[in-house]
Amino acid sequence: MKRVLAAAVLALAACSPAAQKAPEAPLAPEAAAPAAVATLGALAIDSAIVRPPVEGQTTGAGFLAVRNGGEADRLVAAFSPATSSIELHTHRHVDGMMRMEKVDAVDIPAGGAVVFEPGGLHLMMFGLAPTGDVIPVTLKFEKGGDVTVPFKVMARSAG
């Protein structure tokens, strides 16, 4: 039980805003969109990065922006050969505490954008074993289908 609790605390710390450096590209939907690293129909994915696990751990987090120039869609899953599993997560304030929560899907509004960033939506990557500077992550959309996105692996922070 202590091991599970310790892993949960470390995973939460890995996704907290204080533990993160600013992303290289702006992730705000109102900012000028960086060049897409992948597209699927009217969906454009950019700013795809992975924060690798801290030393001795295997849970990391993925961040990205999904911009939608077409009809509403939903991100329903993600997977990668560099992980044992990926879950869609968000942070919520509960009783004055910030808590991570698994979500079943993320709505991508028509003509809008959704940003996955520290302290908010993110891809929780379990069993993450990045090899190299980029890992492929396949995003599964309810209507649009699947698209494989290259995620840049950021430098491991001291911890």
pLDDT of residue 141: 98
pLDDT of residue 29: 45
β-partners of residue 137 are 149
Residue 102: inside a domain: yes
Pairing between β-strand 43-51 and β-strand 73-79 as defined by DSSP bridges: unpaired
Residue 42: inside a domain: yes
Run means of pLDDT, 10 residues per run, the chain, 159 residues:
42 44 43 79 96 91 97 98 97 84 97 96 93 92 97 77
Residue 76: inside a domain: yes
Domain count, the chain: 1
Query: Which tokens sit at 68?
Result: 């939608």
pLDDT of residue 158: 54
Tell me the CATH number at 36: 2.60.40.1890
pLDDT of residue 131: 72
Residue 158: inside a domain: no
Domain range for 120:
2-153
Is residue 106 within 8 A of residue 64, CB to CB? The reply is no
Phi, psi of 42 (to 5 degrees): -85, 0
> What's the one-letter identity of residue 35?
A
Per-position b or e across 112-123, b if 16+ CB within 10 A of its CB: ebbbbbbebbbb
